[in-house]
Structure 1
Amino acid sequence: MSRMRQARSAAWLIAPAMIVLAVVIGYPIVRAIWLSFQADKGLDPTTGLFTAGGFAGFENYLYWLTQRCMSPNGTVTTCPPGTLATDFWPALRITLFFTVVTVTLETVLGMCMALIMNKEFRGRALVRAAVLIPWAIPTAVTAKLWQFIFAPRGIVNELFNLDISWTTDPWAARAAVILADVWKTTPFMALLILAGLQMIPKETYEAARVDGASRWQQFTRITLPLVKPALMVAVLFRTLDALRMYDLPVIMISSSSNSPTAVISQLVVEDMRQNNFNSASALSTLIFLLIFAVAFIMIRFLGADVSGQRGVAKRKIAGERKSRRSAKQKVAAK
C-alpha cells in the first residue's frame, strides 16, 4: 500500500513538468505531422476560385523523396531544376557526411583531451576552464569568427600564403565548416568523457601496474571498457545534434539551398520562407524520423545507456557475484 501511495505522490509531482513538456514539445510535433498531410491552398485551375487545400495524403513526402510535383492542371510531373525538392538528396548526403566526420573527429580529440584533463598536475583547473571556452561561445559568434578567419584575405590565406576560396569551393567550404564545428563542440565531448573517466577507481590502474600492464594495455583493457557507457552517451548526443545542424553553415558559408554546405535543416527554413508550410512540415517530420531511427539504433544495438539503468544492473550483478565468491572462499577456508 505504501508503494502505491509513493507512486501516486510521484505522479502528482511530475505531472506539471509532463504537462509543460506535452505543450512545448508534444503539440508542435503533432501539429507538424498534421500539416504534413495537408494540401497547399491555391487557385482551382478549372473554377478559378481559391481553394482551402484539404487532405493530401503522402504527396508532401513524395515531393521530397521522389521530386514529385503537381502541375497547375492537376497532373503529376517531375519537379523542374531549381525546385527545393531537387536539393533534398544532396543536402541529406552533406548532412550525413558532416555528422560522420565531425562526430568521429570530436570523439577522438575529446578522448585525448579528457585523458589529459583527468591527470593530476598543477593548473589542471585552469586547463579545464580554458578547454570549455569554445563550447561556451554562442554558435553565431563562432560562425562569424571562423568566417573572418576563412575570408579571401583572412588569417588562413594570409598566414599560409594560400589562395583558396573557402566560401565558394565545395570541398574547401565543407572543410571550413567541419573545422569550425570540431573546434566548438569537441570540449562538449571531452566534458562527458571526463565524467566517465572520473568514475573509474584508481585502484584498478594500480593493480594493473603491479601486474605489469603497459599504458596501452591499461587504456584498451581498463579505460575503454569502463568509459564506454559515458562515451556512447556523448556520441549519441553529439550525433543527434549534428543531424540538425543549421546555423554554422548558414552563417559561415551561405543560406542558399544551392550552397555546397546546404543541410536538410536549411531546406526546411527556405521552404517556410516561400510559405510552403505543409511541405516544410513533411520535411521536418522526415528529419524527426531520421533522428529517431539513429537514436534507436545507437541505444538498442550500440549500447548507449542514456538512463543509466543498464550500468546499475551490471554493477548489481557484479556485486552479487563478488558476494558469492567471497562466501565460497569463506566456506573453503573453514
Structure 2
Amino acid sequence: MAALLVSPTLLVLGLVIAYPVLSAVHSSLYSVPDIDPKTGFIEKGDPFVGLDNFTTIFTGAGDRFWNAFWNTSFLTVTSVILETVIGLAMALIMHQGMRGRAWVRASILVPWAIPTAISALLWRWIFDSEGIANSLLNTKVLWTTEGFQAQIAVIIAEVWKTAPFVGILVLAGLQIISQEVYEAARVDGAGPIRRLWSITLPLVKPALLVAVLFRLLDALRMFDLPYILIGAGKESVETLSMLAQDEASNVRFGPASAYSVVLFLYVFLIAFAFIKLLGADLLGARDEAGGKKGKGGGARKGHDGGEQGARKSLRPVAGDDRNRQKEATA
C-alpha cells in the first residue's frame, strides 16, 4: 500500500528530474557533427565520443571552465552569507509585536515576489552610468562592464531579491518557539543578546539550515540575473549555467550537456555535504527519536531538547544573580 501511494510522486519525479538528467548524460557522450572529407557534406547524426567532452572541459577549455567555476562559487558563497544575515534580521523584525506588522511583512516580501528578469532590468537601470547608484555615490563607475564591480552589482541585486525568502523561512521557525523559554530567560536575567545567542539561534537552527540549503542550491544555478544585468560573454560574471547556455546557443549540444552534468554533480555534492555536515541533527537525530517515540515524537523531542539546552545555557546567568543577591544581603 505504501509503494502504491508513493508511486504517483515517484513517477512525477522521474519525469521531471530523472529523465532530463539521464538525457543530459546521454547527450554529453556525443559531439558536434563534422564535415565528411569524402563528400564535403556535414555528417549525419552526432558522432559518439565517449568522455572526450568531459576531458576537454578540464584540458582544452580549462581556463574558461575554471573561471566560470570560481565565479559561481564566489557569487554563491558571498550572496548566501549576506542573505542569511539580512534574512535573519528581517525575520527578527517581522516577529516583533508592533503596530503595522502586516505592512512591514508585506513590504519585505515585495522583492521576492518580483520575477528575476524584471528585477535584473530594474537593477540594470540603477547601475547604469547615469543611474541612481552613481548619483548617490557621486561616482562614474561602469557597473555593467568587465571587472570586480560587475560582481558587486550581481551580489547586491541577488541579495536584495532573495534575502526575504530566507527571512520568511526563519520567521516560520521563530513562531514555533515557546514564549515561556524567553520569559524564563528574562527572569534569569538574560539580556537581548544572550537570549538571541542561547535561545533564538539554537531553536531556529532547523529552519535556518533549510533556508541556507535552498539558497545554496538555487544560487549555484545562477543564470538569469547576471545574464540580464551584466550581459553574456562577460568573463567576470560568467557562471557554469551561462557557460552551458553559450555552448547550446552555438549548437554544441554535446559540450553543453557535459557542462550541465558537471554542474549537476557540483550541486549534488554541495547538497550532500551540507546535509551530512550541518544537517545531521535536522534529519538523523529526528529520525532516531521518531523510531523510539513513534510518529511525531522525534520532532517534539528535538524541540523539547533544544529548549532544555537553552535553559541549561542560561543557568550560569541565574547562578550569578543568586551570588550577587547573597553578597548584597551580606
TM-score band (shorter)?
Answer: 0.7 to 0.9
Higher strand share: 1
Match of 2:59 among 61, 66, 69: 66
Whole-angstrom CA distance in 2 between matches of 1:303 and 1:12? 30
**Correspondence for 1:75:** none
Match of 2:247 among 255, 271, 278: 271
- Please say if 1:159 is aligned against 2:136: yes
Match of 1:40 among 32, 53, 61: 32
- Please say if 1:174 is aligned against 2:151: yes
Higher helix share: 2
Q: More displaced, 174-183 or 212-221?
A: 212-221
Q: More displaced, 16-25 or 202-211?
A: 16-25
- Please say if 1:294 is aligned against 2:270: yes
Instruction: Kindly state the Cα deviation for residue 159 of structure 1 after the two structures are TM-superposed.
Output: 3.1
Secondary structure, counterpart of 1:57 in structure 2: coil
Whole-angstrom CA distance in 1 between matches of 2:101 and 2:303? 33
1:233 and 1:306 in contact (8 A); partners too:
no
**Correspondence for 2:103:** 126
Q: More displaced, 12-21 or 109-118?
A: 12-21
Change (3 A) 1:293 1:317: closer
Whole-angstrom CA distance in 1 between matches of 2:115 and 2:167? 18
1:135 and 1:187 in contact (8 A); partners too:
yes
Unaligned runs of 5+ in 2: 290-296, 308-330
Instruction: Kindly state the Cα deviation for residue 23 of structure 1 after the two structures are TM-superposed.
Output: 1.5
Change (3 A) 1:155 1:21: same
1:44 and 1:51 in contact (8 A); partners too:
no
Give the partner amino acid of 1:263. Answer: T
1:249 and 1:261 in contact (8 A); partners too:
yes
TM-score (norm 1): 0.83
Percent identical pairs in the alignment equals 47
Whole-angstrom CA distance in 2 between matches of 1:148 and 1:21? 39
Change (3 A) 1:279 1:293: same
Give the partner amino acid of 2:57. Answer: W
Whole-angstrom CA distance in 1 between matches of 2:226 and 2:45? 36
**Correspondence for 1:285:** 261
1:134 and 1:185 in contact (8 A); partners too:
yes
Instruction: Kindly state the Cα deviation for residue 48 of structure 1 after the two structures are TM-superposed.
Output: 5.1
Give the partner amino acid of 2:193. Answer: W
Give the partner amino acid of 1:118. Answer: H
TM-align CA RMSD: 2.3
Give the partner amino acid of 2:51. Answer: F
**Correspondence for 1:142:** 119
Whole-angstrom CA distance in 1 between matches of 2:32 and 2:272? 33
2:31 and 2:253 in contact (8 A); partners too:
no
Secondary structure, counterpart of 2:128 in structure 1: coil
Secondary structure, counterpart of 2:149 in structure 1: helix
**Correspondence for 1:213:** 190
Whole-angstrom CA distance in 1 between matches of 2:252 and 2:271? 29
Match of 2:73 among 83, 90, 96: 96
- Please say if 1:194 is aligned against 2:187: no
**Correspondence for 2:300:** 315
Give the partner amino acid of 2:238. Answer: A
**Correspondence for 1:260:** 236
- Please say if 1:19 is aligned against 2:19: no
1:157 and 1:164 in contact (8 A); partners too:
yes
Q: Deviations over 1:210-237 (max 9, x none)?
A: 1111211111111111111111110000
Instruction: Kindly state the Cα deviation for residue 314 of structure 1 after the two structures are TM-superposed.
Output: 6.0
Change (3 A) 1:21 1:65: same
**Correspondence for 2:23:** 31
Whole-angstrom CA distance in 2 between matches of 1:277 and 1:31? 11
**Correspondence for 1:325:** none
Aligned residue pairs total: 296
1:102 and 1:182 in contact (8 A); partners too:
yes
2:286 and 2:302 in contact (8 A); partners too:
no
Give the partner amino acid of 2:96. Answer: K
Instruction: Kindly state the Cα deviation for residue 25 of structure 1 after the two structures are TM-superposed.
Output: 1.9
Instruction: Kindly state the Cα deviation for residue 35 of structure 1 after the two structures are TM-superposed.
Output: 1.1
TM-score (norm 2): 0.84
